[in-house]
Structure 1
């Protein structure tokens, strides 16, 4: 006998519940169904029916029961053929597949109705790079067509560098917003462009956004950093967690203690030695995945699931997901407009059910939004300053040296510090470039050159009268 479809299972449950005018509880439903559905699956199906408003829930705890709802005209609700069973959500959410809706229904239940689970190694073992695929072939082809950029024939990282100023603001804001940061996008733009912290925001929120900025620049400005390897992912954690960890020694280090996830019944692995080993395996498997979209999605699934760091795991996974896009000159993934609840539900589905369908719904929707935004942006950009890109390290070294040595930003000071990597014929151009950078240098953007806030404020008080 073929297994019943999800829609058939839902219809059967509605009929069973509707046959009892006083309603039915989970135990009574389970007895009626026998071995047809496992109890956890039954709970998910019932929760989905409540969300679809086909049944209503009454009472609490063991007294909870479910009753069939009637349509205003007295007819029971049965979706027309082909109609998605999930009703339009009242809150902001992403379009959701039937499988994604099933996951959402389960994780929307109170914690006491969800079974506690630990790390399941089988979830990782079942994945075989370039043979297993979380993203079907036709979906990957669709994403490739969407993400192909005007820079696809240029050196790795060109597209991301071309839109870097916009990406710094969008990805820093959106990724921070998914963590509950209350900065607006405009606040974020002012902080990144002009170093102006928003009024009424705490220092940790400001730090979170500046950390994103540094981590993104780390990946984009030097293509050698945009690699899926242990060093890069640990460096991303160091940037993203700087100043945000209760234990400063936990910055850029695999965790050495147990952690819990708020709002979830998932308990990540706690053994430090095993974590170190599994982190290496996850990263190696990700590095072997050839398709950039599958690689990005694998990182978004398995880095947070392992929870290798004490905190900031999801932030690391979101930036790491952009590594294959940077390397292949594909449109980056900014997570702009992704509803926080949809992302949280999707991650809970991975943690508690080892199911990726809802996260896939979020990933695909978010990538489509990014493509609509950045491909249009790229068409209107002026060409990048190739001279500046070629000498960006020399530029940073000279500016940092002048600030740290307390010198005035003059042509003579710059000329005395030009390294041998800049040809003599280009010295005049280089001096003009450095002086132009000093004209726009402030506390917020000085970090691009490795200059600490105290170093900059000391130099500023000497040469700008503290302005």
Structure 2
């Protein structure tokens, strides 16, 4: 946990900067302080004052000059350039602590000290006692994320908005990795299988991998659990065709890795990685609040780097597991600026501080909820009969398709399982026939039917 800077020290800095009407550079500030102070410490304190709007920073970081911020009443009489702050580094509002982290991680690498994996960062967390998200913030997130499907079986809401979620999350998560597909390109690829012209095949593969991984979680609620097997499966789906070593797909890494642009050096010993991955998963599974659980996974999975690559993608989909299970609005990462997310992760890697990532997480979740408000309002109220017999419905539809039978009332009745009461057979039969009326290769996956199986049934 970071130390709190005494108010007197910050006040002294403001007075020193105010004594130079034309602004002052960081070297001059160091000289005037008189007492030795590490450059990074001084930069952090200046970042706090900028975030508190007590001073302004003009110019690039290395040549910046700091000015005492004028009172609002005095500003109208001053030329704009004397009080306008430097352009924001990204589009997200951040807390003072988040700004301090961002100030540190955006320094050149040679000014940041190399660090390794600190197990103490994990050991300091105690599920349901430690909290990265304060109680008031969790209440706010719960209020934003409630869905119409709150009282229905786990995963119902995610299934209801699956088509929209597939496009949003596949595109946004891939975009955070530098993928240049547009949202419209992504929609065409997912809905019609049309790869965008001029795009690298690996970018297309990345989008399709996301689609498959999301369907893995949403279409089979038993898969949406915080357990090691689920994370391994997500990695296998997300990294398929993207790894230099195909044997590294769906496997804990066996070699050392580096983080591009960071001074963080992840743990290298394979046996230790497997042990720590098990501990991270066990701790996450014990967390009862879905938002705290999601955020914990976003912090500690990338920090551990259990796989050779694709760790952040795994963490973003894993963070949606508690939302799927609790029928909360999913986290699609829509419109999150790539640099804001990168800076937040660097703060975790190099400082073991979560403030900036928490800022990004909260902003991203609120944005996702805003995106799905319209979707929620247009949802048809759930069919309770269909929900109650969803398993039987899937079994009958899949059986008719795989056995190549014609869709008749007799064929349906011959396959109704014992779980459907005799008194409800007529209603159930009508439900199955109506499902076949709208069945096509794109939505047949809801019943576990692969595209090739559906095509073979159509030909028959």
> Same fold by TM (over 0.5)?
yes
How big is the shift at 1:256?
A: 0.7
Asked whether 1:77 is paired with 2:59, we answer: no
> Do 1:173 and 1:184's aligned partners in 2 also have CA atoms closer than 8 Å?
yes
How big is the shift at 1:226?
A: 1.4
Q: What's 1:54 paired with?
A: 57
Asked whether 1:441 is paired with 2:444, we answer: no
> Do 1:346 and 1:358's aligned partners in 2 also have CA atoms closer than 8 Å?
yes
How big is the shift at 1:161?
A: 1.5
Q: What's 2:346 paired with?
A: 348
> Do 1:14 and 1:55's aligned partners in 2 also have CA atoms closer than 8 Å?
no
CA distance 1:141–1:22, shift in 2 (3 Å): closer
Query: Superposition pairs for residues 60-459 of structure 1, below 5 Å?
Result: 68-69=65-66, 76-77=68-69, 87=85, 89-90=87-88, 92-384=90-382, 386=386, 389-390=390-391, 391-392=393-394, 394-396=396-398, 399=401, 401=402, 410-411=406-407, 415=411, 421=417, 426=428, 430=432, 433-434=435-436, 436-437=438-439, 440-441=440-441, 449=448, 451=450, 455=452
Q: What's 2:41 paired with?
A: 41
Task: Tell me how far apart the structure 2 counterparts of residues 389 and 9 of structure 1 sit (CA, whole Å).
Answer: 67
How big is the shift at 1:314?
A: 0.7
Cα-to-partner distance string for 1:247-286 (whole Å, 9 max, x where unaligned) = 1211111111111111111111000000000000001011
How big is the shift at 1:392?
A: 2.9
> Do 1:118 and 1:266's aligned partners in 2 also have CA atoms closer than 8 Å?
yes
Task: Tell me how far apart the structure 2 counterparts of residues 344 and 441 of structure 1 sit (CA, whole Å).
Answer: 38
> Do 2:57 and 2:86's aligned partners in 1 also have CA atoms closer than 8 Å?
no
CA distance 1:266–1:9, shift in 2 (3 Å): farther
Cα-to-partner distance string for 1:67-121 (whole Å, 9 max, x where unaligned) = 6456xxxxx435779xxx9957445421110000011111111111111111011
> Do 1:152 and 1:328's aligned partners in 2 also have CA atoms closer than 8 Å?
yes
Asked whether 1:14 is paired with 2:17, we answer: yes
> Do 1:30 and 1:39's aligned partners in 2 also have CA atoms closer than 8 Å?
no
CA distance 1:392–1:357, shift in 2 (3 Å): same
Q: Which runs of 5+ in 1 are unaligned?
A: 59-63, 71-75
CA distance 1:19–1:88, shift in 2 (3 Å): closer
The range that moved more, 155-164 or 311-320, is 155-164
Task: Tell me how far apart the structure 1 counterparts of residues 406 and 161 of structure 2 sit (CA, whole Å).
Answer: 31
How big is the shift at 1:176?
A: 1.0
CA distance 1:223–1:416, shift in 2 (3 Å): closer
> Do 1:146 and 1:371's aligned partners in 2 also have CA atoms closer than 8 Å?
yes
Task: Tell me how far apart the structure 1 counterparts of residues 399 and 86 of structure 2 sit (CA, whole Å).
Answer: 55
Asked whether 1:4 is paired with 2:6, we answer: yes
Give the secondary-structure state (helix, strand or coil) at the position aligned to 1:270. coil
Task: Tell me how far apart the structure 1 counterparts of residues 273 and 161 of structure 2 sit (CA, whole Å).
Answer: 36
Task: Tell me how far apart the structure 2 counterparts of residues 50 and 135 of structure 1 sit (CA, whole Å).
Answer: 24
How big is the shift at 1:448?
A: 8.1
CA distance 1:418–1:194, shift in 2 (3 Å): farther
Task: Tell me how far apart the structure 2 counterparts of residues 283 and 244 of structure 1 sit (CA, whole Å).
Answer: 25
Q: Which runs of 5+ in 2 are unaligned?
A: 74-82
> Do 1:94 and 1:362's aligned partners in 2 also have CA atoms closer than 8 Å?
yes
Computed over aligned residues only, the root mean square deviation of the Cα atoms, in angstroms, reads 3.7
Give the secondary-structure state (helix, strand or coil) at the position aligned to 1:54. strand
Task: Tell me how far apart the structure 1 counterparts of residues 93 and 249 of structure 2 sit (CA, whole Å).
Answer: 36
> Do 1:50 and 1:56's aligned partners in 2 also have CA atoms closer than 8 Å?
no
How big is the shift at 1:459?
A: 5.4
Give the secondary-structure state (helix, strand or coil) at the position aligned to 2:34. helix
Task: Tell me how far apart the structure 1 counterparts of residues 180 and 414 of structure 2 sit (CA, whole Å).
Answer: 43
Give the secondary-structure state (helix, strand or coil) at the position aligned to 2:314. helix
> Do 2:444 and 2:450's aligned partners in 1 also have CA atoms closer than 8 Å?
no
Task: Tell me how far apart the structure 2 counterparts of residues 191 and 3 of structure 1 sit (CA, whole Å).
Answer: 51
The range that moved more, 281-290 or 210-219, is 210-219
Task: Tell me how far apart the structure 1 counterparts of residues 96 and 103 of structure 2 sit (CA, whole Å).
Answer: 11
Give the secondary-structure state (helix, strand or coil) at the position aligned to 1:133. coil
Task: Tell me how far apart the structure 2 counterparts of residues 398 and 168 of structure 1 sit (CA, whole Å).
Answer: 27
CA distance 1:21–1:159, shift in 2 (3 Å): closer
CA distance 1:38–1:90, shift in 2 (3 Å): closer
Give the secondary-structure state (helix, strand or coil) at the position aligned to 1:256. coil
How many equivalent pairs are there?
Answer: 433
Give the secondary-structure state (helix, strand or coil) at the position aligned to 2:312. helix
